[in-house]
């Protein structure tokens, strides 16, 4: 239990190694908000998974900055002694803003565990010191370029390849990758770009032996996802639709998916993510940890989460160099066997490098009581 004394917000920019294109658009720069929380027992770091605009989510960086400064941080100051498990309840008077709340919870959890000398993985009940990882391949200018990128990632050891698709760039690239690599674990991610009129496309995707089709329809369309799952053989996986344990329960009861992608920032934090994991584990539904182009801070937390027993599929926790020329922490690497080490140090187990952090920071604001 600790008292929050100050919150520091920091806007950072990291140039991507190559443009990352999905049905939402193209990113060339990772813009992120880092949160440092100072408590009476120590300090901890968190990361918001929002971007510069409200594309993937209704939240975005300026929104996170303002709601944290004006509402969330002052509420934590007024809450007195808090534990990580109490952060969601303390901030529950404000609707939504899951990604902003997640960053604060993450930082408080990091501070508490550092004080206790416990790793995040051990606190979650993780069972592995290494986890299998996959990689997400963005939409490319040509099919040939996508096949080339996949070959490169397979050579690096990744156990699962996920292809981003959109209307007009789906059957041909997926068919080309499957023809080139007939035995790999392959999935596709539509990022909600399709609707019921595209049923024949999904029936055609059945022919490629995919592990899953991720988020084909709008995130609010649980009923339509159930409709589609009844009509195709390939398992559907939901991402944007799962914003809480309640969402996950509804999706499973409706038959909207057979696999769940858990992104801690999207669901309001690592503790809610663990509750979703526990729900799916009890229902014998496989889960995996999705990625949001996180810096090393978010990557460390995701690895800790993915060490839990229900994470039986390789997640999007790729090596730092997959996205960044230089990460803010010591870089994470994928081993030749397609696994990545789970940090074992206290808390997140990593710190941002001060020099790299300062070089990539464009804005800082310190928030204190009163």
Cα(361)–Cα(355) distance, integer angstroms: 10
Do 115 and 101 touch, CB atoms closer than 8 A? no
Do 258 and 235 touch, CB atoms closer than 8 A? yes
Cα(114)–Cα(92) distance, integer angstroms: 26
**Catalytic-residue membership of 101:** no
**Catalytic-residue membership of 164:** yes
Cα(203)–Cα(229) distance, integer angstroms: 10
Q: Please pick, among 36, 164, 166, 274, the residue that the annotation labels catalytic.
A: 164
Q: Can you give the C-alpha Rg of the chain in angstroms?
A: 20
Give me 221's structure tokens: 């369309």
Token look-up 């809610």 returns 272
Sequence-ordered alpha helix ranges (H) in 117-188: 120-124, 143-156, 171-180
Token look-up 């080139």 returns 180
Token look-up 């057979």 returns 258
Q: How close are the terminal C-alpha atoms of the chain, in Å?
A: 22
Q: Are strands 236-238 and 213-214 parallel, antiparallel or unpaired?
A: parallel
Helix (H, G, I), strand (E, B) or coil at 302: helix
Closest C-alpha to 272, from 118, 120, 105, 112: 105
Cα(257)–Cα(216) distance, integer angstroms: 11
Give the residue numbers marked as catalytic: 164, 263
């Amino acid at each position: 239990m600790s008292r929050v004394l100050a919150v520091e917000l920091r806007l950072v920019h990291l140039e991507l190694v190559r443009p990352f294109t999905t049905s939402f658009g193209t990113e060339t720069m990772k813009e992120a908000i880092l949160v440092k929380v100072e408590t009476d027992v120590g300090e901890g770091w968190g990361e918001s998974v929002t971007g510069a605009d409200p594309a993937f989510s209704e939240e975005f960086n300026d929104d996170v900055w303002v709601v944290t400064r004006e509402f969330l941080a002052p509420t934590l100051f007024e809450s007195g002694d808090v534990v990580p498990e109490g952060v969601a309840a303390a901030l529950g008077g404000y609707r939504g803003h899951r990604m902003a709340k997640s960053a604060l919870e993450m930082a408080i959890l990091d501070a508490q565990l550092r004080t206790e000398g416990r790793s995040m993985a051990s606190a979650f009940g993780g069972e592995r010191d290494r986890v299998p990882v996959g990689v997400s391949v963005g939409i490319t200018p040509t099919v040939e370029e996508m096949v080339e990128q996949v070959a490169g990632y397979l050579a690096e050891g990744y156990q699962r390849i996920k292809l981003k698709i959109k209307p007009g760039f789906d059957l041909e690239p997926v068919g080309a990758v499957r023809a080139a690599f007939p035995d790999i674990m392959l999935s596709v991610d539509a990022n909600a770009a399709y609707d019921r009129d595209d049923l024949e496309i999904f029936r055609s995707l059945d022919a490629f032996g995919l592990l899953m089709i991720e988020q084909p329809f709008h995130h609010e369309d649980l009923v339509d996802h159930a409709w589609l799952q009844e009509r195709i053989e390939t398992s559907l996986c939901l991402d944007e639709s799962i914003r809480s344990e309640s969402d996950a329960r509804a999706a499973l009861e409706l038959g909207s998916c057979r696999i769940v992608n858990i992104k801690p920032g999207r669901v309001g934090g690592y503790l809610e993510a663990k509750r979703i994991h526990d729900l799916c584990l009890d229902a014998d539904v496989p889960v995996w940890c999705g990625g949001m182009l996180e810096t090393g801070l978010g990557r460390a937390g995701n690895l800790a989460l993915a060490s839990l027993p229900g994470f039986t599929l390789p997640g999007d926790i790729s090596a730092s160099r997959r996205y960044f020329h230089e990460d803010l922490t010591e870089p994470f690497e994928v081993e030749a066997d397609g696994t990545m080490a789970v940090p074992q140090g206290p808390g997140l187990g990593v710190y941002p490098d001060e020099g790299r952090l300062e070089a990539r920071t464009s804005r800082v604001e310190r928030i204190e009581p009163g």
